[in-house]
Structure formats: structure tokens, C-alpha cells
């Protein structure tokens, strides 16, 4: 599989359509919630590939694959769960967020194109809006395409009742104000990305923020790289938290080596790497896993491998 492109090496003639969903919830301290979110997708017919949660981020991520119908049903069920069980008024975490079900991206993996996944995202957004939760579309699902999560969050901080709400042309029904407990949900369509955190020691948070600013695309660094420096007080760790939008275009190994150089120049050290969700091929090589010190590694974390097994099990 070419993970960067989101295309399988399994022949497309099978006719089976597979979509990935990677919902991010603003709850990272209650394992029962994460289990219930995964179960909502499994009950809809999806295969749950991975779950992760972090108490300092106060965030959990569930990665699933399935047919468009199964993924749609699971996503709406998960949105209802988040509405019932997460109250943003009592939420405190280091990760930026605007909603209980904060981010809901859909990714075409096999037998389905981006245009169809955009339509899927907008159908799901409409159903979530019908629950009374404001929805804003991002990535390929926005109109025009390309709205960023960073831009949405900046608007949320500066204008809590502007830009995140209202009615988009041809889009889901929106509501005039954010939901008091569930906030706003960002629904998107995108390609496969790499979400990862690099832990560093011996470097102040201020210095780490400078490193993040220099390596991110907005600071003139790597194309498609989003980066923040965060201090995890409960875990006594400092990390650079990142997304690479297209790992086939921007090599994660190059980004990691740049961080190592910056941290070494600051008389610190890189102490490990955490991949959130599934791993694209670009970080699946054993040499890369060792060099980055990726925690909780197994071959079952490779998205291409799991997709191939999923298709084989279903005669695809």
C-alpha cells in the first residue's frame, strides 16, 4: 500500500469500498468512555484498528475502517455518545479543541474516491447538526476546500459565535451558537496523515515552542507539517506534537532528524516518539522504529497491513 496516497495495492476490481474514520474526542481520562466509543463503531459494523488516550491532552482517538454505511452509522452513534457523556464546561487539557467530538475526519482507503468521501462527510455533518451540535467542515469537505483546523480554532478563540456557525451553501444545517456542553464538531475529508508526538528532555517549554515554530510549514519549515510544543504536567514530559498531512511528500525521518538537531543544539535529548492511531508506511521500517524510539510498536499498527488483512478476510 502507498499510505501517503491512501491507495491500496489490492486490485480495485474487488468493488469493496473501505473508508477510515479517526474521531478525536475531548476525553482522555475515562477508559470506559473510550471503550464505549470504540463499541459504537464496532456495533455499526466497523473494524476498530486502534484506540489511544492521554490525560494531559485530555483527548482520545479511535481509528476505525469499514464500508461507507458502517462508518457513517458509527460516527453518528459516537457523536450521540459524546453529547451525552462529555461536558466541555468541566474540561481542561493542553490540546486545542472546540468540541466534545472535536474532530471527525474521513479518509478514502480502497475502492472509493475523495469526492465520494466528501459527500459522506457532509451527510454525517448534517446528521450531527440535527442533534443540535454546530458543525464546521474542513479539509476537502469545506467549501471551498482547504479550510484548516488551525484556522477554525483561531476563530473559535477570537469569535466564539462567528465563523464556526451558520449555514454553508449546500451543507448541513447549522445552529446559531455552540452547544453549551458539546461545543462544535469539525467534520472533514482528507488523505492519510501521520499524527505523532516526539518527547524531549532538558529543553524548556519556551525553547521547545521555538523549535516547533521553526519546523512547521507556517514558520517556513516542512511542507504540510503542523507542530505545537506542549508540557504534559501529569506525565512530566515535554513534547512536540505534530501532524504531517502527506507523509509521502514530507518524509517523517527528515522531520525527526531536524528535531534531534535542534534539541541537541539546545543541550537536550529526544527521549522517544509516540504515533497516534495507525502508522503509514513511511515510519513502518524497523530501522525507523528504532531510530525514533517509537513506543507501543507492533506490526498491527501499520495501516496498509491492516487494510490488506481486512480485505482478505472479506474476500476483497
Q: Could you give the residue numbers annotated as active site?
A: 95
Cβ-contact 259, 211 below 8 angstroms? yes
CA 29 to chain centre: 18
Angstrom distance (rounded) from CA 108 to CA 112: 6
262: phi then psi, degrees, rounded to nearest 5: -65, -45
Amino acid at each position: 500500500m502507498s499510505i501517503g496516497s491512501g491507495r491500496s495495492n489490492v486490485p480495485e476490481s474487488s468493488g469493496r469500498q473501505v473508508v477510515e474514520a479517526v474521531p478525536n474526542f475531548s476525553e482522555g481520562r475515562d477508559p470506559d468512555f473510550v471503550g464505549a466509543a470504540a463499541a459504537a463503531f464496532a456495533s455499526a459494523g466497523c473494524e476498530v484498528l486502534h484506540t489511544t488516550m492521554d490525560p494531559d491532552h485530555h483527548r482520545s482517538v479511535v481509528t476505525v475502517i469499514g464500508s461507507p454505511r458502517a462508518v457513517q452509522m458509527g460516527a453518528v452513534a459516537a457523536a450521540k455518545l459524546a453529547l451525552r457523556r462529555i461536558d466541555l464546561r468541566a474540561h481542561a487539557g493542553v490540546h486545542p479543541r472546540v468540541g466534545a467530538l472535536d474532530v471527525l475526519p474521513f479518509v478514502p482507503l480502497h475502492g472509493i474516491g475523495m469526492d465520494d468521501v466528501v459527500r459522506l462527510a457532509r451527510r454525517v455533518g448534517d446528521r450531527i447538526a440535527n442533534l443540535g451540535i454546530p458543525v464546521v467542515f474542513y479539509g476537502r469537505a469545506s467549501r471551498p476546500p482547504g479550510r484548516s483546523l488551525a484556522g477554525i480554532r483561531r476563530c473559535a478563540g477570537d469569535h466564539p459565535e462567528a465563523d464556526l456557525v451558520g449555514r454553508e451553501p449546500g451543507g448541513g444545517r447549522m445552529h446559531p451558537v455552540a452547544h453549551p456542553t458539546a461545543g462544535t464538531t469539525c467534520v472533514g475529508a482528507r488523505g492519510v496523515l501521520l499524527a505523532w508526538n516526539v518527547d524531549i528532555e532538558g529543553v524548556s517549554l519556551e525553547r521547545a515552542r521555538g523549535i516547533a515554530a521553526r519546523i512547521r510549514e507556517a514558520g517556513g519549515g516542512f511542507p504540510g507539517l503542523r507542530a505545537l510544543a506542549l508540557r504534559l504536567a501529569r506525565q512530566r514530559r515535554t513534547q512536540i506534537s505534530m501532524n504531517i498531512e502527506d507523509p509521502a511528500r514530507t518524509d517523517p525521518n527528515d522531520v525527526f532528524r531536524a528535531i534531534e538537531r535542534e534539541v541537541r543544539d539546545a543541550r537536550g535529548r529526544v527521549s522517544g516518539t509516540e504515533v497516534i492511531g495507525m502508522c503509514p508506511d513511511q515510519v513502518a521500517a524497523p530501522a525507523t522504529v528504532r531510530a525514533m524510539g517509537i513506543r507501543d510498536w507492533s506490526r498491527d499498527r501499520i495501516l496498509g497491513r491492516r487494510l490488506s488483512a481486512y480485505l482478505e478476510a472479506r474476500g476483497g
